[in-house]
Amino acid sequence: MSEQMTGAPVAQQDRMTQETMTGAQIVVRALKDHGVDTIFGYPGGAVLPIYDAIFQQNDIRHILVRHEQAAVHMAEGYARSTGKPGVVLVTSGPGATNAVTGLTDALMDSIPLVVFSGQVPTFMIGTDAFQEADTVGITRPCTKHNWLVKEPDALADTIHQAFTVATSGRPGPVLIDLPKDVQFATATYVGPKAAKPGHYRPRTEPDPQAVERLVELIERAERPVFYTGGGVINAGPEAARQMTELVEATGFPITSTLMGLGAYPASGKNWLGMLGMHGLYEANLAMHDCDLMICLGARFDDRITGRVSDFSPGSVKVHVDIDPSSINKIIRVDLPIVADVGKLIAAALDLWKARGSKTNRAAIEGWWKQIEGWKKINCLAYAGSETTIKPQYALERLEALTRGRDRYITTEVGQHQMWAAQFLHFDKPNRWMTSGGLGTMGYGFPASIGVQIAHPEALVINVAGEASWQMNVQEMGTATQFFAPVKQFILNNERLGMVRQWQELLHGERYSQSWSESLPDFVKLAEAYGWKGIICSDPKDLDDAIMEMIDYDGPVLFDCLVEKHENCFPMIPSGKPHNEMLLAADAEAFKSGAALV
């Protein structure tokens, strides 16, 4: 975790600032002391005192959502695009249970969030009171940590600890459950600096001997690959810059998980593209055939490894992770390094320079020749069309027409998400927000609002499918109310495309429940909320329509009617290793059960 995620302006005379105030005022004051400028939430009976305190100040902006799940996704978008923790406020019972999906999403993707939930008064806990739920019980497995605050005097300390836990080590969501009587009670406020230090101090410094071994491995490698993940993004922009420097110093190829896109620029010459189930052919084959794999801040997810027993059989594996439990969980590695990935990269670079290290240049050149050969397969090739918009074409045009802009992209989950990862290019970290671990349909739209709130002037586009997008459709009003000019770019195939693809390839073409029936007229829907609606079905009109979307000063719902039965390739099918990827051309043979070569 970088300093910027933990750092917050705190009063110098902190120890002196011991004031008496209500629990609700403590919450607002603590948020200010942690540099929070925006919270996402929805009021209800058990948080009314906090809402009253919010009403009486102007430093913290409250974004009123339409559903608590969306509040959490907005906070995730805010956090991922700024590097600061996202803050959420919800009421007890249904408010808290609605937040569970967002919490789980943030836990899987290591996104720092601080969520406050109201709770029934302490003397009513356990009585099945109105809007009572066992929130700490329900959220225990989907938060990094959570607290039920029963003592008003413990409130300030707990909030400070919550920010520390959320942002240090492997980041994640935390929740503080606040009974209503604690919000009303008066207590002493202690500033962040004077707070009791918790024992939670994750290790972030790499072992120097391990760094030395890593540099030796880099010097000797003949077929190396960097395999990077969201950890590099979480380590902060400086880590991404140094990552780029290390790649340039070594000349090694680099691939990334879905979560790590943008840590190394896609325009960089060593970029192989994303790896994994729908990753690029050259990236997956480089992983399979390498002799040195350097995994930085990624966690060998099943969508990355394919068949574990055949995963990169001939390589020496180095795994750098801030979370010791990620190491040796799926894949046994040869050199485990527990560290903040940013600190490790910096240490490796320093040692590299100090030693005047050199790579095995001849071998690396040969390795690149092999990679160039794989690139010639052109794994993203698709059949173009004069009459129908191919989803890949729509994203190629979106990429071309937004290139050069400082653009933020969010996505929903499914085929469109994978195509976006394949066809859109990211040159900076914190520009790509997608639900990786949990795969939450309905993530992208609220996340795009959260990003836009954090970056009011930026171009923020949610690449969506019509099915996913409808899962948080109610947030249209939020975008209108808060003047968030988000662009919703819906690749509408009237299908649950990824489900349909699997049914076609793996379930005998029985398309069980995988179509979008009774879709709304998206243009009318846009207009009903005061948005602009655009519909486009002809490839010839697409460029103008995209420009119209970009140029419009306000939220846009873009209904892009695309080819209905396009499948997303390449694909590593069920339980197959990296070197048995399915390309578009192989799909028919695969369906008919022919042996794959």
Partner 1 sequence: MAALNIGTGASSHSAYDLRDHHETAERSHTLAVIVDNEAGVLARVIGLFSGRGYNIDSLTVAEIDHAGHRSRITVVTRGTEAVIEQIRAQLSRIVPVHQVTDLTTEAVAVERELALFKVQGKGDARIEALRLAEIFRANVVDSTLESFVFEITGAPEKIDAFADLMRPLGLIDVARTGVAALARGV
Q: Which residues bind partner 1 (CB under 8 A)?
A: 136-137, 140-141, 144-145, 148, 165, 170, 198-200, 277, 302-303, 306-309, 323-325, 327-329, 332, 506-509, 573-575, 590-593, 595
Judge contact between 296 and 243, C-beta under 8 A: yes
Q: Active-site residue among 130, 248, 269, 524?
A: 130
Nearer to partner 1, 301 or 541 (CB): 301
Q: To the nearest whole angstrom, how small is the minimum distance from the Cβ of residue 204 to partner 1?
A: 14
Tokens representing 460? 């923020």
Q: Active-site residue among 1, 68, 343, 445?
A: 68
Q: To the nearest whole angstrom, how small is the minimum distance from the Cβ of residue 593 to partner 1?
A: 3
Torsion of CA 83, 68, 54, 124, to 10 degrees: -120
Judge contact between 39 and 31, C-beta under 8 A: yes
Peptide bond into 570 cis (omega under 30): yes
Give CA–CA dist 87/66, Å, rounded: 16
> Does 498 participate in catalysis according to the annotation?
yes
Give CA–CA dist 554/225, Å, rounded: 43
Residue 592 CB coordination number (10 Å): 7
Judge contact between 85 and 113, C-beta under 8 A: yes
Give CA–CA dist 65/71, Å, rounded: 6
Nearer to partner 1, 216 or 323 (CB): 323
Q: To the nearest whole angstrom, how small is the minimum distance from the Cβ of residue 575 to partner 1?
A: 4
Q: To the nearest whole angstrom, how small is the minimum distance from the Cβ of residue 131 to partner 1?
A: 21
- Scored b (16 or more CB within 10 A) or e, 28-56 reads bbbbbbbebebbbbbbbebbbbbbbbbee
Q: To the nearest whole angstrom, how small is the minimum distance from the Cβ of residue 158 to partner 1?
A: 11
Nearer to partner 1, 329 or 524 (CB): 329
**What pairs with residue 176 in β-bridges?**
116, 147
Tokens representing 550? 């970009």
Q: To the nearest whole angstrom, how small is the minimum distance from the Cβ of residue 125 to partner 1?
A: 11
Angle subtended at Cα 68 by Cα 66 and Cα 70, rounded to the nearest 5 degrees: 75
Q: To the nearest whole angstrom, how small is the minimum distance from the Cβ of residue 574 to partner 1?
A: 5
Nearer to partner 1, 241 or 307 (CB): 307
Judge contact between 448 and 96, C-beta under 8 A: no
Give CA–CA dist 445/77, Å, rounded: 10
Q: Active-site residue among 287, 498, 571, 581?
A: 498
Tokens representing 211? 């760094």
Nearer to partner 1, 146 or 250 (CB): 146
Give CA–CA dist 492/466, Å, rounded: 5
Amino acid at 316: V
Kindly provide the residue ranges of all beta strands, DSSP E only, lying in 418-469, ordered along the sequence. 432-433, 459-465
Q: To the nearest whole angstrom, how small is the minimum distance from the Cβ of residue 539 to partner 1?
A: 32
> Does 68 participate in catalysis according to the annotation?
yes
Q: To the nearest whole angstrom, how small is the minimum distance from the Cβ of residue 278 to partner 1?
A: 11
> Does 358 participate in catalysis according to the annotation?
no
Q: Active-site residue among 131, 370, 481, 503?
A: 131
For helices 208-220 and 341-355, the axis angle rounded to 10 degrees is 60
Sign of the CA dihedral 553, 525, 96, 151? positive
Give CA–CA dist 394/397, Å, rounded: 5
> What is the maximum span of the chain, computed from C-alpha positions, in angstroms?
76
**What pairs with residue 40 in β-bridges?**
63, 88
Residue 269 CB coordination number (10 Å): 10
Judge contact between 494 and 515, C-beta under 8 A: yes
Nearer to partner 1, 240 or 582 (CB): 582
Judge contact between 131 and 93, C-beta under 8 A: yes
Nearer to partner 1, 44 or 436 (CB): 436
Nearer to partner 1, 305 or 411 (CB): 305
Nearer to partner 1, 28 or 277 (CB): 277
Q: To the nearest whole angstrom, how small is the minimum distance from the Cβ of residue 516 to partner 1?
A: 23
Judge contact between 201 and 268, C-beta under 8 A: no
Nearer to partner 1, 141 or 314 (CB): 141
Catalytic positions are 68, 130-131, 180, 498
